[in-house]
Amino acid sequence: MKHAIEILLDKEFASTHLSNLRQLRIAEERGNELYGQSEEEDQLGMLTLYPNLVSLAFKFSNLAYMTKPFPTGQSLTRIKELNLGNLRHLPEENAAFVSNRFPNVRTLTLDSLGVGRSHLKPLLERLASSPTVAIESLTLISTAEFIGMRHENFGRLSFTFAEEAHLGPSPRGKDRLER
């Protein structure tokens, strides 16, 4: 697993292989490799080297407990579909991460395992009011406490229930909300 991510994020490999790759989904126990431990190297930005990559999905179980800010770097402007699992407890960080790194995302899925309603609401409010993010479809994969949010209004964002396949090896009972 670690080898696969290392190879995929290797600059030489990414610039010469998998030119047809459109969709990449990664579910891993540790997301440090992708979010970058080294400040000198923008590993997430290496994904821009795949010319047809338009859909990304991550699920990192340790993300909620990271205290280090998301590394800044190159925007992945081609990404239209984004699925983020295990949000951090910092809504400002989450919102800035989405708007800065994925400015052209249209379909966003958020899995809020370990994140309370109080963390999710500020994130949605920021995304809804962001001038740079134009999300057309928002899906929330979350615990039952978010069901009550279906009638709340976040500017352009509203939700209905929907089913979606799990990402990752550890399924759990969840309710889902979708715009």
Partner 1 sequence: MCESIGSKWGCLEEIARLPLRSFSNASTFLRNPTRSSCTAQTSLQTASTAPIDFSTSPPSTSSKSPRNSSGLEKFTRALLFSPSLSLLLLELKQAISSFHTVPLTRNGKLTRLVICPLLLTSCLISQSLLSLPPELLSDIFHLAHRDTFEDDPDPEEPEHDTSLTRDPICRTLLFFQREALFREVTGLSLDQFKLFVRTIVDNSQLGEFVRVLAAPWNVAGLKNSKEETKALLTNLSHVETLRIT
Q: Give the nearer residue to partner 1 in terms of CB position, either 6 or 39.
A: 6
Q: Give the nearer residue to partner 1 in terms of CB position, either 15 or 23.
A: 23
Q: Binding of partner 1 at residue 27 (CB under 8 A)?
A: yes
Among positions 26, 46, 76, 140, the unique one binding partner 1 when judged by CB under 8 A? 26
**Which residues pair with residue 85 across a beta bridge?**
59, 111
Q: Binding of partner 1 at residue 17 (CB under 8 A)?
A: yes
Closest among 100, 164, 162, 160 to 126, alpha carbons compared: 100
DSSP state of 41: -
Q: Give the nearer residue to partner 1 in terms of CB position, either 13 or 89.
A: 13
- Burial of 120-136, coded b for 16+ CB within 10 Å and e otherwise, reads beebbbbbbebeebebe
- Contacting partner 1 within 40-69 (CB under 8 A): 52
Q: Binding of partner 1 at residue 171 (CB under 8 A)?
A: no
Q: Tell the residue number behind the tokens 């790759």, with chain if given.
A: 21
Number of amino acids touching partner 1 (CB under 8 A): 24
- Contacting partner 1 within 110-169 (CB under 8 A): 167-169
- Backbone angle region of 101, left / alpha / beta, with phi > 0 → left and psi within -120 to 50 → alpha: alpha
The answer to whether residues 43 and 36 touch, using CB atoms and an 8 Å cutoff, is: yes
DSSP state of 157: B
Q: Binding of partner 1 at residue 5 (CB under 8 A)?
A: yes
Kindly list the residues in this chain that would bind partner 1 in the complex (CB under 8 A): 1, 3-8, 13, 17-18, 20-29, 52, 167-169
